[in-house]
Amino acid sequence: MKRSSEKYVIAKDVEWEELGGGVSRKFLGYDNQIMMVRVKFEKDALGSPHQHFHTQATYCVSGKFEFEIDGERQIVEAGDGVYIEPNLLHSAVCLEEGELIDTFSPVREDFLSGGEVSYFGDKS
């Protein structure tokens, strides 16, 4: 995202990355301690159950989602925030097309490595 000659990058200049399964994302900013990612979901897109050692805070910009965190389900709508402790099993289903802002600490190295993201729906 940031080239060695740049001090910053404006997020509007960053391209969307299609992840498949009705999900796309764009990196808004990161360093080795924190990462912010904008994620678009089509209706019925799925963030399959997964867990990671990162702390996660999510803000719902638009749409409606059903989150399941550590076995507890909750409806999340525009303006709502969600905190997910490290290593808790969590998932989300998009009930109405929308966008989330995910913030992780530390940075999601797995996102930057270019490997496949396995928990965003069906890749077909």
Top CATH class of 17-110 equals: mainly beta
CA distance 10 to 15: 11
Q: What is the pTM of this model?
A: 0.86
Closest CA to 28 of 61, 52, 77: 61
pLDDT at 121: 54
Contact status, residue 108 vs residue 51, Cβ threshold 8 Å: no
pLDDT tens digits for range 56-109 = 999 999 999 999 999 999 999 999 999 999 999 999 999 999 999 999 999 999
**96 to 33, 40, 60, 66, 100: CA distances (angstroms):** 32, 11, 12, 10, 12
